[in-house]
Amino acid sequence: MHEDRKIRILIAKIGCDIHERGAMTLLYTFRDAGMETIYTGRYQTPEAVATTAIDEDVDVIALSDHTGSMPIIAAAVSEELKNRDATDIHIITGGLVSPEDAKALSKMGVSGNYGPGTPLNVIVEHVKELVKKTAA
């Protein structure tokens, strides 16, 4: 990433989860932190999220889920990115992520894994650090 380029982040909801408050909060938080934000809206597929991430040249995909399915969702998105040779796109997650799920996600290379109540500045700084490491 060039120093003058803003961080680009895609916020995605996959499957039948209708809860949007966290995703919308992050959308505005990332935007207010100077990032370019894109929101897929609800009811997306892993394929659609990977396609959008690649087409929009994002640095990070932020997956949001409140159904307890995050390991399945993240694995499917990771696989789509791998199949499209786009593993340089980071994935972070948030929502209902149990401690067991967080461990499984970390093993997959997914980071963040934030639950409700996580301070927004913690999430913003995590994204900045992820992108900074890649740029180095």
Kindly list the structural domains of the chain, giving each domain's residue range(s) and its CATH number in brackets, ordered by start: 8-135 (3.40.50.280)
Compute the C-alpha angle 9/68/79, nearest 5°.
Answer: 50
Per-residue pLDDT of the chain (136 residues; tens, 9 = 90+): 445 689 999 999 998 888 888 899 999 999 999 999 999 988 999 999 999 999 999 999 999 999 989 999 999 999 999 999 999 999 999 999 999 999 999 999 999 999 889 999 999 999 999 999 887 6
Work out the angle between the directed axes of helices 120-135 and 21-32 (0-180°, nearest 10): 60
Q: What is the spatial distance between Cα 5 and Cα 27, in angstroms, rounded to a whole number?
A: 18
